[in-house]
Amino acid sequence: MRTGSSDQTLTLCERVAQHLAFIYREVEPGPDCPALAEELLAIMRLASDTPAPPTHVNQWDQGDALVLSYGGSILAPGEPPLRTLKHFLDRYLQGRVSGVHILPFYPYSSDDGFAVLDYLSVNEELGDWEDIQAIADKYDLMADLVINHCSAEGEWFRNFLNNRDPGRGFFVTAAPATDLEAVVRPRTTPLLREVQAVDGPRHVWCTFSPDQVDLDFRNPRVLAEMVRIVRYYLDNGVRIFRLDAIAFLWKVPGTSCLNLDETHEVVRLLRTLVSHARPDAMLITETNIPNQENLSYFGNGNEAHCVYNFSLPPLLLNTLVTGDCTYLKQWMMSMPPPQHGTAYFNFIASHDGIGLRPAEGLLSEDELQALIGTMRRFGGHVSYRRLADGESKPYEINIALFDALQGTVEGPDEHNIPRFLCAHAIMLGLEGIPGIYLHSLLATHNDHERVEETGHPRSINRHQWNLAELEEALADPTSEHGVVHRGMLELLEIRQRQAAFHPNATQFTLHLGCQLFGFWRQSADRRQSIFCISNVSALAQTLNLADINLIDTEAWQDLLTGRPFQSRVEQVTLAPYQTVWITNLPDHR
């Protein structure tokens, strides 16, 4: 039985203690849950009678979109990169985004920030907390709570090896003979790493890499330290917490150690604490796993505010390189509308690769292999994960999205830019909050040199721009970087004005064949409808307006071109990868 009680007769301290009792129910000896609850409230500076925030309230609208970026993605001589990033956002995004996700900006030892050395510091190569706060003052700031693991070079792990605090008992260990065959792995490196501690050899649990050692939340001191970090981030302007790799948090040998009940309860506990501390704060779970498992992190509206829509990137990419939307449409029809107070976080590119686990059960094995083969021809790499039988299986495709969409399964063609903008027009029309990778706004290509420098396939999509070179490219009217940037800003600007693009507005999938992908959005007040239809093929396609049942008494117009439609039986020719947003209220807000 899971908790997550919404009983308003309970005090906040009682609710927190209830979460803790469930989390530690099988831990011996377990903590004094009421006392631990009081400690956590003290860390968060909350009183037991702090009023509960309203539930099932949407803290977002169609004006919300986030840009995702490393703190050091744009460099200028003599200026901290975080300051350069803010100047770029202010000048080149022109109010088109409401928030920014700055990927781990803490000191780290590996994995481009996800092996954290010190959670409470800003990497001095990027800037300082004043730079972070300056961004948070103007944009909704999303930051990573790297909760599953930390660096093997950090103070906590050094103290663990020397049996000192803080760090004593902070990390998961297991005997080499332990049956761990059922554990789900996202990597091919060994799960256990032998280290020498003052009391002898220990085998520590490393889900992701030998330098990223998993924290042991069975120890309540670990939970208390993580809550202390959450409070510090709130104090420094963080509004949105990305719970990194949260699905792997709790370990029980003999199980998959993935999505365990205790993990879900930790999310519910963090939701309770964060929402009481800042009612407009949000939790987003990063769970690169099959679709139904991913959706479970909504809970009953009491876990994540948003879940990453991980199945969208591989399905949309597959659609655009095959010219067939069948799989994407089937998935869309199976997706439940999030209840109020929750939303999908839509993205099609990120600092990581295009995950293939979220496509399991959605794309056939033949489709997956064809997609992988096409991406390899376009300069991409493939990362693998280890299965229980010792075999390896493709885990993600590593490629810059602009290069991933340079052609179809037939090879490269002349439709790169239209295809790329089509992908984003589809994403921006879908129910949910859009997250746009900075490099998608800039049409950044594969960075093969960076892969050679780092030895990591993911570096292909983590280019660092020189600001002067970037500004020159954006100013050139013939540059693909400038064309894409202007096209993306136009899509974002139009989206912001449409009530039917509210993240929770009604959505229905349309059935227009395999080459036309379409869906209908309707605003909460039912005044505005938008029919979002994209030609996902390299050939012109005919759209019969009779197939989408436009109401005769309304005047309909394409938001993207301004073209009016005079008759509900009109036929419209869509060029390769053209999108239309057909609405009855083009200026509805």
572: Cβ–Cβ under 8 A, 6 or more apart, which residues? 542, 543, 545, 565, 580
Q: Does the annotation place 218 within a ligand binding site? A: no
Q: Which helix (H) or strand (E) holds 50?
A: none
Amino acid at 282: M
Tracing tokens 């490099």 back to the chain, one arrives at: 439
Tokens for 68? 């995702």
Q: For residue 242, say whether it is annotated as part of any ligand binding site.
A: yes
Nearest to 4 by CA among 343, 297, 375: 297
Residue from 140, 211, 244, 558 carrying the catalytic annotation: 244
The residue whose two tokens read 């010190």 is 118
**458 appears as a binding residue in the annotation:** yes
111 in a labelled binding site: yes
Angle, helices 416-429/480-496, rounded to nearest 10 degrees: 20
Residue 526 to residues 493, 519, 522, 523, Cα–Cα distance (Å): 22, 16, 6, 5
Q: Which of 45, 51, 49, 13 is nearest to 32 (CA)?
A: 13
CA–CA separation, 450 vs 146, rounded Å? Answer: 24
The two three-digit tokens of residue 310, written as one number = 């991980």
Torsion of CA 342, 494, 134, 484, to 10 degrees: 110
The answer to whether 222 and 242 are in contact (CB under 8 A) is no
Run of H or E residues at 567: none
Q: Contact, 551 vs 585, CB < 8 A? A: no
CB 421 within 8 A of CB 491: yes
542, β-bridge pairs: 573
Torsions phi, psi for 290 (to 5 deg) = -50, 155
Distance CA 250, CA 105 (A): 25
- Which residues, including other chains, have CB under 8 Å from residue 104's CB and lie 6 or more apart? 112, 113, 114, 116, 144, 146
- Using DSSP's 3-state secondary structure scheme, residue 529 falls into strand
List, in sequence order, every residue forming a beta bridge with 581; answer none if it has no partner: 532
Residue 64 annotated as catalytic: no
The residue among 70, 55, 69 whose CA lies nearest residue 15 is: 55
Helix (H) or strand (E) holding 384: strand 381-386
Residue 352 assigned to a binding site:
yes
Cβ atoms of 237 and 133 closer than 8 Å: yes
d(CA 64, CA 502): 9
CA distance 217 to 224: 10
Residue 48 is classified by DSSP as T
487: its two tokens: 């096209």
Dihedral of CA atoms 363, 367, 370, 376 in degrees, nearest 10, equals 0
244 annotated to bind ligand: yes
Catalytic residues, which ones? 244
Residues annotated within the binding site are: 111, 149, 242-244, 351-352, 458
Q: Which residues are annotated as a binding site for substrate?
A: 111, 149, 242-244, 351-352, 458
